[in-house]
């Protein structure tokens, strides 16, 4: 859990820094630092589901080929 919290903190810091440097706004930087990781987490969930389907499909093809 410590590694996850560490990575989340790092991710939000980078997101804030980039957004602040591009916009010059603490509000925009803060909003992006909070919103972007939340959206990224949802996208990651569906990314993992897609890769699990690919893994299962490849496994099924291997079993049928034997």
Overall domain count for the chain: 1
Which residue in this structure is represented by tokens 């099924």?
Answer: 60
Complete DSSP assignment for 23-61: H--HHHHHHHHHHHHHHHHHHHHHHHHHHHHHHHHHHHH
Tens-place pLDDT, residues 3-60: 888 888 888 899 999 999 999 999 999 999 899 888 988 898 999 999 999 999 999 8
Q: Which residues contact 31 (CB under 8 A, 6 or more apart)?
A: 19
pLDDT of residue 54: 95
pTM of the model: 0.63
pLDDT of residue 65: 82
15 burial type by CB count under 10 A (0-12 exposed, 13-18 middle, 19+ buried): buried
Question: How many angstroms separate the CA atoms of 30 and 63, rounded?
Answer: 50
* Structural domain boundaries, residue 47: 2-65
């Amino acid at each position: 859990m410590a590694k996850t919290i560490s990575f989340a903190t790092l991710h939000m810091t980078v997101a804030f820094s980039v957004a602040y440097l591009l916009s010059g706004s603490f509000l925009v930087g803060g909003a992006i630092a909070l919103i972007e990781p939340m959206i990224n987490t949802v996208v990651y969930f569906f990314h993992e589901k897609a890769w699990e389907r690919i893994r299962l499909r490849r496994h099924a093809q291997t079993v049928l080929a034997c």
